[in-house]
Amino acid sequence: MALRLLPAPSVTGRVEAVPLEAPLRRRPCSQESREDPVRFTHRYLVPVGLISGIIGIVGIAGCFTNRVEARRTLEGGVSVERGEYLVTVLACNDCHTPFVVGSNGPEPDMSRMLSGHPQELEMPAPPDLPEGPWIWMGASTNTAFAGPWGVSYAFNLTPDTNTGLGIWTEEMFVRAMRTGRHMGQSRTILPPMPWTAYSHLTEEDLKSIHAYLGSIPPIENQVPDAVLASDAGDESWE
C-alpha cells in the first residue's frame, strides 16, 4: 500500500497510510506490434484498406454501368440493344456489308460492317441474260444487283456524315421504311431491299434500328448511285 504525508493537525505531525487510487491499466499491445510495427501494419491494416477500396470500386462501377444502360435505353422503349438485335436477325449485313471469301466460303467482311458497296469496286455493265427464268444477278460482294429495274447498290448505313446516314433524322429513316422512298421522299428504294416487309415493324423497332445505326463506327464509303433501266416501262422505278 502506498503512503503519503498529510499535514498534521498538531505541531508534532504524524504519518497516515492513505491508499492511492489504482492507476489506469494500459491495454497491452500485441508482441508483434511492439516488436515490428511495419510488419503489423502490412499484416492487419493493409488488407483492411484493400477490402475497403475494392468495395468502393465495385460500387462506383455499378453506378457507372447503370448510367450507361440508362443512356442506351431511350424514350418510348427505344434502345440501341434492340436495334442491334433487329439489324442482326433481319440480315442487314447480308447485303450492306461486303462479302469476302473466307475459310468457310463467302462471309461478310465485318471490318467494313454495313458500309455498303465498296466505292473502289467499279462494276462493269451487267451481262445480258438469255430468255428464261433467270431475271436478276448479284456481284460477288453481294452489294450490287442487276435486274429489270436496272442496277442497284447496297447503301452505306454507317453514320458517316457525307456518305452514310449521318444526316438522316429519325423521322426520315422511319418514313423511308414506311413509304419505300429514299430519305423518305425521293426515288423508290430498289430491289432487293425488302422494305415492304420492314414497313410492318413497329415504330419503336424502326427507331431502335436508327438508334443502333447511329451508334456504330462511321465509315467513309461513297456508294455509286443506282442506274435505272431505260426500258423499265414502270414509273415506280423512277
Name which residue leads in pLDDT, 233 or 169.
169
pLDDT score for 58: 46
Q: Is residue 114 pLDDT above 50, yes or no?
A: yes
pLDDT at position 159 is 98
User: What mean pLDDT is predicted for residues 112-138?
Assistant: 95
Question: Taking a C-beta distance cutoff of 8 angstroms, is the pair 89, 82 a contact?
Answer: no
Say which range, 36-45, 192-201, 215-224, has the weakest mean pLDDT.
Answer: 36-45
**Mean pLDDT value across the chain:** 80
Which is more confidently placed, 152 or 12?
152
- Tell me what pLDDT residue 185 has: 86
- Percentage of the chain beyond pLDDT 90 is 58
Q: What is the CA radius of gyration of the chain?
A: 39
| Contacts with 70 (C-beta within 8 Å, 6 or more apart), sequence order | none
- Confidence at residue 79, expressed as pLDDT on a 0 to 100 scale: 96
Please report, for the chain, the start and end positions of each structural domain, with discontinuous segments joined by +. Answer: 33-72, 85-127+137-237
188 — pLDDT class (breaks 50, 70, 90): very high
Compute φ and ψ for 137, nearest 5 degrees.
-145, 165
Cell numbers linked to 193: 431491299
Decide: 98 and 115 in contact? Cβ < 8 Å: yes
What is the four-CA torsion angle of 86, 91, 92, 95, rounded to 10 degrees?
180
Which residues in 123-226 belong to E strands, given as ranges? 137-138, 144-147, 150-153
Residue 4: band (very low, low, confident or very high) from pLDDT cuts 50, 70, 90: low
Residue 157 has pLDDT above 70, yes or no: yes
Compute how many other C-beta atoms are within 10 angstroms of the C-beta atom of residue 141.
22
| Cβ pair 46, 30 in contact under 8 A | no
Distance in angstroms (rounded) separating the CA atoms of residues 69 and 213: 17
Q: What does the pLDDT look like over 53-93, one tens digit per residue?
A: 555 554 555 544 444 454 456 666 899 999 999 999 999 99
According to the model, what pLDDT value does residue 186 have? Answer: 84
Angle at CA of residue 227, ends 225 and 233, nearest 5°? 140
Please check the confidence at residue 11 and state whether its pLDDT lies above 70: no
Give the residue-averaged pLDDT of 157-172. Answer: 97
